[in-house]
Structure 1
Amino acid sequence: MEDLAARLTALPDREIADLLLARPDLLAPSSPSFTALAARAAGRTSTDLALAQLDAAAIAVAEGLVIPVLGQAGPVGTAGSDDLAALLADRLSLPLETVADRLSQLSRLALTISNRPAPGLAEALAPGTASWPPPAEDLTGPSPDSLTIIEPRTIAAESAQHAEEAVRLVTALLREWLREPGPLLRTGGVGVRPLARTAGALGLAPAQVATIVEIAAAAGLLGLDDDGAAWLPAAPALVWLSHGDAPPLPERWAALATAWASSARTPWLVGSRSEDGVLRAVLGDAAEAPWARSLRHRILHLLATLPDGASATPGFVRAALTAARPRRPIPEGAITAILAEAELLGITGAGALSRAGRALAEHAFPGADADPASLGVLEDALAADLPEPVPMLLVQSDLTAIVPGRPVAPLAALLERSAVVESRGGALTLRFTPDSVRGALDAGLSATELLDALGAYSPVPLPGALEALVEDAARRHGAIRVRPIASILRIPDPATAAGLLTEFRLAGLGLNEAAPGIITATASAGQVLRELRAAGLAPVMEDGQGRLVIDGAALAPGGADGARGRGAAPEPTRPGHVIASRRRAPTNRELAVMVGRMRAGQEALAAAGPTVVASDPVHALAVLRQGQANRSLLRLRLAGPDGEVQERTVRVRAVEPGRVRLADVVRETEVTVAIHRIVSVEPISRD
């Protein structure tokens, strides 16, 4: 400990500042002296944090400095740096310059002193030195030469298609939760049933829906209602849902991609239990993890370093990340899940980083706010890969339709409301059904307006079968109107009302006839709509004043916009909030002040002599650790349970987190003392 303190004292201020930046756990609280800094740097916790930054080659070099074959044979104590580097390079089968660089890195991190292990390094590395030297392939990681190279056109096509689909799915989620929000569980998050309901509406598996929901929330598109009882689209999401004023596709994608890159959420763990037994729910606190953001960062960085077009497999990524940080374990399944998320968002295509994904890796790393210029780069990168949209719709007499390419935005929005997608790819294949046409009618279009809008994109007249389908759906549309106030159903036809009351499939709605033509339901308005439609009916939504609700907005019969049925959209709410924000890096001036105080404190220690009394916790720990290393006697003053201060002469057995084990040499007993009970500690002179 004394050697490490002496070395730190001899370093220039700039190198001490660099050490603090490289080992940020030493920044707070600020150490009062270099002796205290040395004690903290040599502690097991801080040493483990420093080792977690090192790659496999640096760990192997460090292990080579502490194992007996080198520590006793003499090269550490007698050989120069060049000789030591050559010996380690030969034993590890690494290039000499690589070993020399890792030795320098260990010194800069205060893990070694003149190529000898600093206090704490041997203790931290001892379990891993049994198999030294490790296999050469474990030190360098897998070679990217083994990866498949994908054609740039294939990457661009697949990534652009996935990016467009991701934006569409988020928009569909917002529409679904505007109609029927995701209720909040008492334990937090959204439950299994709403997730399954949303999965059915979006045509996805619940696990995929969880990812879409979490990405939307991370992008600030979801918020809690005024009662904090349900998640629904936030104010920024209303722009996404506007049919004419929605931002361009690249702009919306950039918002999702940057939100994903900086997210600490783990949607692939939804449905599992945490270590303390808490069930992880989508948008719940338990689905957040401090390592998720960092792992996304590391994967993005790794993909960006691969050759253009290299398709990385989960096994390759795990092996490469393990070689880069062997003492930073990666949870099982996390790499596969994050790569799948990147594919879903179009950050990768066919496993290779896309043009937009590379821009994301370079300009929007996790933890850094994406400035407008960086967002512009992402948008331009995606726009460059998007195929030119086509304003053409080919409708067949069997009610199928084809868009020979990527539809223009107005056509895409129209088809999203009026048709069911059967396949996506180079062309878009769709089918018109009674349910899909009803979606356009629900959005406020009349039969004539819908046919005119579709006909504007068709090079030939629309087939009669489609016209008949639309007109028939329009005749049936609105025969039943559902109000969200206590789920009241207004049904002018007595026969239809009687049929609903006796329909066994609707028993779960709690239907009851309040008056002729008026039926109440205990279920929510959204559930009533969904189950009536499943029974083959075509109800529509009303607000409390009897006005039609169009995509969540109430429209008066004349078409003028009214107020939203649920009040103003909430502000965005980020789920979790359990992960502390990253510590702000100190400025050069703040670092200079810290180093200056430590240098002044060290000078005061030197002037006071070896018997200076350490009363602050950091300095006390430094004296305790130094006493443990020297096996010297210490005078310890402790606060007893009754508040009385006791004085003991002790030797330190072990310094552990939050406590210290001591041997009382006078009473010949061993005691364990909490750090906060120590009033002061000082070395006892041997004179």
Structure 2
Amino acid sequence: MKKPTAPGDPTLTFREWLASLDDEHLSRLLLLRPDTVLPLPPGIGPLAARLQLRASVSRALHSLNTTDLLVLEAVAAIGGEFTPVSAPEVVGIISERTQLHGIDGPLPIEVEASIAKLKQYGLLFGEDRFLVVQEAMSALPHSWQLLPDAEPAPDDLADKLAQLSARSTKILQTLALSGGTGVTKDAALDADPTRPIPQLIAQGLLHRVDESTVQLPQTVRNALTGSRSLPLRCPPAESTTSIEVADQAGISAGLEVCRLTRLLIQELGQRPVSTLKGGAVGVRMISRLTKALETTEEDIARLMCLSIAAGLIARGVPEPLPDDDDGGDYYAPTPQADAWLGSSLEDQLRTLLHGWRTSPWAPWLLGTTKDKTKVHLLSREMRDERIPQWRGQLIDALGSLPPGASTAETLTYFRFRHPLTGTALTETTFAELEAEAAWIGAISEGILTSSIRFDTINVPDAVEQLIVQADMTMLAPGPLTPRSQKFVDRVADLESSGLASVYRVTEASIRRALDSGLSGQDIMSRLGELSVMELPQSIGYLVDDVARKHGSLRGGPAMSYLRCDDPSLIVQAVAAIGDAVALRAIAPTVAVAQAPLIQVIKALRAAGFQPIAEDAYGLSLDLAPEPSRVPQPDTRPEATAIDEGRIEAAVAAIRRGDTARDAVASGTRAPASETLSILQAAARAGKTVTLGFVDKHGIAVHRVVRPVTVAGGLIDAIDTTTGDVHRFQVHRITEVIVQ
């Protein structure tokens, strides 16, 4: 359906202008202002009211760039809130003001494009001449100003400000912090010229509005507050590198975050992190994780926040409980973490990128002071629900550039694209947002990568080959398969990360692999399978040497026992942990303990020994406990995007509501006693009527229909607007209106 467009009448009200729009333009408006669609407005009038609500107008303003807001302000400055204005008038005032101050302003074609955009958003209405919608200017921040002043900036501004008296400086600073406009009796033309206000006016540091009002010029306010003027035109883009190079760097960074996340899940699965009061993580726990993952506190904060946002880690009571359970909550992996660990690298990175975009956490606040309170990891002071919006706007700003292009100053470009957010964000916060985006691979050298721009994550094919070298290093030419990665993490330490990673084999790393249940023969056999060339002798010597020393003490369930070919080691072990686990020697080479084997092994390792566990056949056992898990937390469902199909349905429903109201206003109500007979007659004659009825929610509704059948207390009728067939119950019908 398409409603005819009314002639361009500058006296149209906002509701009348909405009603004059055809379905295509109205659908476009609702797509840009989806907050006004749900719940469905019953007609144009309620829709017009919603579009003029300050909260809805404010959300629309946050979608505009600096040029759009400049145009809106210019329309208001020439009286567009009361009297219709034209595009040439808007172009004229912007050109005049920007040239007066030597500012690079938008071109006339850009101003006209912004006018059309503001109409699409429902912030301007009218055709050739137009008005500003109610609440548009009121929804802007206090003292907001983009349009340059009507008077030129004073010469030698910095010198004049420096030479002011303390009283005059205080007056200007007070005005700068209170909106820029003040009321004073000294603004009159005949005021005492020795008073501060007339002197400031004479120097051009204040503007006289009328006999009792003064205004602080924009240039003076910026000089006093140290504010930077927003760019009134879009800054130019720069081609610094190819999108392929940026994507490669982004994938490399993202895979490193995936690797650290796997290590974090493994560590928290074995040793969940206890929480402070309120769910924060203390300094001692952060230090433990930093040491375990061999990374920085900054990375630990980012990883914890990211993993929680992605649903891989949660706070709760883990199962099984840690040995040193203190009765409080812990951060531990969720069941979703197991599914994530088993997924491909591409899916792992996609999950983390989605978690980053939706995360409300600000990990960069760790250790800072906020509201006189030190910010702990995952404390409520670290959470801000605006952060996902900021990240989305950063992505939107960089995504508006051509692929592979960047800008000289990302913050300047961001402030042009999202001026209302850009002026509220500090440079420090923006820099942290940008650094975090680079850390996870969303941007690289100021370029938005394809992982975010196109949701295209091209992870190189996983490999199972290693280049093992005589200097104890192993080169992985690409991402390793999960099975190979798990083995390499056990036998070597990461030395250089990236798409091609370098690992170093050390005595400590071999001992770690032996502790996990691998034998020296297992290590050499698996390395031989992965190596693309013959294993260097130095690797074999190191593994044999560590394996020979490792496991001199061997324990088994007896309640548990220890055995060793060296009697002196048995004596040393009994002396070291005998009291703790009731260990006693029963032979020169055998001792038994009245404690589980895992407890004996832990006590021996804590005392500096290097035992391993064995089963009844003398084979090595891995006594690592099952990783702890906490229940998957309930997640808030994501807001469903309103697609074009739903918008079209909403427009049809709004039109239908208006059609029904028009019919009610112009038709004749049939007496209640004649309801059935009127409907039966309409069905026989194929006539259209307007039914008033109460729906199943108890809401009174009118609908224009053509009755088809009337029988058994039910009425089947065709909706003349949509063509759908509806069934009505007679007892719910309140009135019948005949045209």
Which TM-score bucket, shorter chain as reference? 0.5 to 0.7
Q: What is the correspondence of 1:334-345 to structure 2 with a 5 Å cutoff?
A: 334-345=429-440
Go from structure 1 to structure 2 and tell me whether the alpha carbon gap of 1:15 and 1:557 turns closer, same or farther (over 3 Å shift). Answer: farther
Q: Indicate yes or no: 2:657 matched with 1:597.
A: yes
Match of residue 515 from structure 2: 442
Amino acid at match of 2:473: A
Match of residue 174 from structure 2: none
Amino acid at match of 1:463: Q
* CA distance in 1 between partners of 2:574 and 2:487 (Å): 33
* CA distance in 1 between partners of 2:361 and 2:654 (Å): 35
Q: What is the correspondence of 1:321-340 to structure 2 with a 5 Å cutoff?
A: 321-329=414-422, 331-332=425-426, 333-340=428-435
CA contact (8 A) 1:221 1:237 kept: yes
Secondary structure of the structure 1 residue equivalent to 2:109 = helix
User: 1:513, CA displacement in angstroms?
Assistant: 4.8
Match of residue 447 from structure 2: 352
CA contact (8 A) 1:482 1:539 kept: no
User: 1:299, CA displacement in angstroms?
Assistant: 2.4
CA contact (8 A) 1:141 1:319 kept: no
CA contact (8 A) 1:513 1:519 kept: yes
CA contact (8 A) 1:161 1:425 kept: yes
The C-alpha deviation readout for 1:128-166, integer Å capped at 9, x for no partner, is: 248536899711243223x7x236675455334323322
Q: 2:79 aligns with which of 51, 71, 81?
A: 71
* CA distance in 2 between partners of 1:496 and 1:213 (Å): 39
Go from structure 1 to structure 2 and tell me whether the alpha carbon gap of 1:474 and 1:249 turns closer, same or farther (over 3 Å shift). Answer: farther
Match of residue 133 from structure 2: 118
Go from structure 1 to structure 2 and tell me whether the alpha carbon gap of 1:450 and 1:309 turns closer, same or farther (over 3 Å shift). Answer: same
For structure 1, the 5+ residue unaligned runs are 364-376, 502-510, 549-555, 608-687
Q: What is the correspondence of 1:665-680 to structure 2 with a 5 Å cutoff?
A: none
User: 1:171, CA displacement in angstroms?
Assistant: 1.7
Match of residue 635 from structure 1: none
User: 1:180, CA displacement in angstroms?
Assistant: 1.1
Match of residue 660 from structure 1: none
Q: 1:138 aligns with which of 231, 250, 261?
A: 231
Match of residue 231 from structure 1: 331
* CA distance in 1 between partners of 2:339 and 2:534 (Å): 34
Match of residue 261 from structure 1: 357
CA contact (8 A) 1:480 1:489 kept: no
Match of residue 431 from structure 1: 504
User: 1:212, CA displacement in angstroms?
Assistant: 2.1
Match of residue 163 from structure 1: 254
User: 1:62, CA displacement in angstroms?
Assistant: 0.8
The C-alpha deviation readout for 1:109-133, integer Å capped at 9, x for no partner, is: 3323432222223434573248536
CA contact (8 A) 1:17 1:595 kept: no
- With structure 2 as the length reference, what TM-score do the two structures score? 0.61
* CA distance in 2 between partners of 1:99 and 1:481 (Å): 82
User: 1:294, CA displacement in angstroms?
Assistant: 2.8
Q: 1:181 aligns with which of 268, 272, 278?
A: 272
CA contact (8 A) 2:124 2:132 kept: yes
The C-alpha deviation readout for 1:485-512, integer Å capped at 9, x for no partner, is: xxx99777352243358xxxxxxxxx94
* CA distance in 2 between partners of 1:447 and 1:462 (Å): 15
User: 1:389, CA displacement in angstroms?
Assistant: 7.4
Q: What is the correspondence of 1:267-346 to structure 2 with a 5 Å cutoff?
A: 267-271=363-367, 279=375, 281-282=377-378, 287-310=382-405, 316-329=409-422, 331-332=425-426, 333-346=428-441
Match of residue 459 from structure 1: 533
CA contact (8 A) 2:312 2:334 kept: yes
CA contact (8 A) 1:76 1:116 kept: yes
Go from structure 1 to structure 2 and tell me whether the alpha carbon gap of 1:594 and 1:279 turns closer, same or farther (over 3 Å shift). Answer: farther
* CA distance in 1 between partners of 2:53 and 2:24 (Å): 23
Q: Return the index of the structure with the highest Cα Rg.
A: 2
The C-alpha deviation readout for 1:607-639, integer Å capped at 9, x for no partner, is: 9xxxxxxxxxxxxxxxxxxxxxxxxxxxxxxxx
For structure 2, the 5+ residue unaligned runs are 1-10, 99-104, 150-217, 220-228, 322-327, 564-569, 585-591, 668-739
Which region of structure 1 is more displaced relative to structure 2, 288-297 or 598-607? 598-607
Go from structure 1 to structure 2 and tell me whether the alpha carbon gap of 1:91 and 1:8 turns closer, same or farther (over 3 Å shift). Answer: same
User: 1:63, CA displacement in angstroms?
Assistant: 0.7
The C-alpha deviation readout for 1:317-362, integer Å capped at 9, x for no partner, is: 2221211121224543443333333333333444434xxx314322
Q: Indicate yes or no: 2:488 matched with 1:395.
A: no
Amino acid at match of 2:394: I
Q: 2:31 aligns with which of 9, 17, 21?
A: 21
CA contact (8 A) 1:434 1:473 kept: no
Go from structure 1 to structure 2 and tell me whether the alpha carbon gap of 1:120 and 1:489 turns closer, same or farther (over 3 Å shift). Answer: farther
Go from structure 1 to structure 2 and tell me whether the alpha carbon gap of 1:255 and 1:496 turns closer, same or farther (over 3 Å shift). Answer: same
Secondary structure of the structure 2 residue equivalent to 1:187 = coil
Match of residue 610 from structure 2: 538
* CA distance in 2 between partners of 1:429 and 1:15 (Å): 58
Match of residue 496 from structure 1: 573
* CA distance in 2 between partners of 1:431 and 1:392 (Å): 12
RMSD: 4.6
Match of residue 207 from structure 1: 298
CA contact (8 A) 2:491 2:509 kept: yes
Go from structure 1 to structure 2 and tell me whether the alpha carbon gap of 1:43 and 1:280 turns closer, same or farther (over 3 Å shift). Answer: farther
* CA distance in 2 between partners of 1:273 and 1:594 (Å): 51
User: 1:77, CA displacement in angstroms?
Assistant: 4.3
Go from structure 1 to structure 2 and tell me whether the alpha carbon gap of 1:57 and 1:202 turns closer, same or farther (over 3 Å shift). Answer: same
Secondary structure of the structure 1 residue equivalent to 2:460 = helix
Go from structure 1 to structure 2 and tell me whether the alpha carbon gap of 1:200 and 1:598 turns closer, same or farther (over 3 Å shift). Answer: farther
The C-alpha deviation readout for 1:507-546, integer Å capped at 9, x for no partner, is: xxxx94556465989xxx99x95x9767744366x8xxx9
* Fraction of identical pairs, as percent: 20
Q: What is the correspondence of 1:458-537 to structure 2 with a 5 Å cutoff?
A: 459-463=533-537, 466-473=540-547, 475-477=549-551, 479=553, 493-499=570-576, 512-514=580-582, 516=584, 518=593, 536-537=608-609
User: 1:58, CA displacement in angstroms?
Assistant: 1.0
Q: 1:104 aligns with which of 113, 116, 121?
A: 116
* CA distance in 2 between partners of 1:119 and 1:76 (Å): 10
Secondary structure of the structure 1 residue equivalent to 2:143 = helix
User: 1:87, CA displacement in angstroms?
Assistant: 4.9
CA contact (8 A) 1:421 1:429 kept: yes
Go from structure 1 to structure 2 and tell me whether the alpha carbon gap of 1:560 and 1:605 turns closer, same or farther (over 3 Å shift). Answer: farther
* CA distance in 2 between partners of 1:261 and 1:130 (Å): 31
Secondary structure of the structure 1 residue equivalent to 2:434 = helix
Go from structure 1 to structure 2 and tell me whether the alpha carbon gap of 1:251 and 1:320 turns closer, same or farther (over 3 Å shift). Answer: same
Q: Indicate yes or no: 2:648 matched with 1:588.
A: yes
Secondary structure of the structure 2 residue equivalent to 1:132 = coil
* CA distance in 2 between partners of 1:42 and 1:298 (Å): 24
Amino acid at match of 2:573: T
Amino acid at match of 1:64: A
The C-alpha deviation readout for 1:1-53, integer Å capped at 9, x for no partner, is: 99333333444455444434322333345555545544443343333222222
User: 1:417, CA displacement in angstroms?
Assistant: 1.0
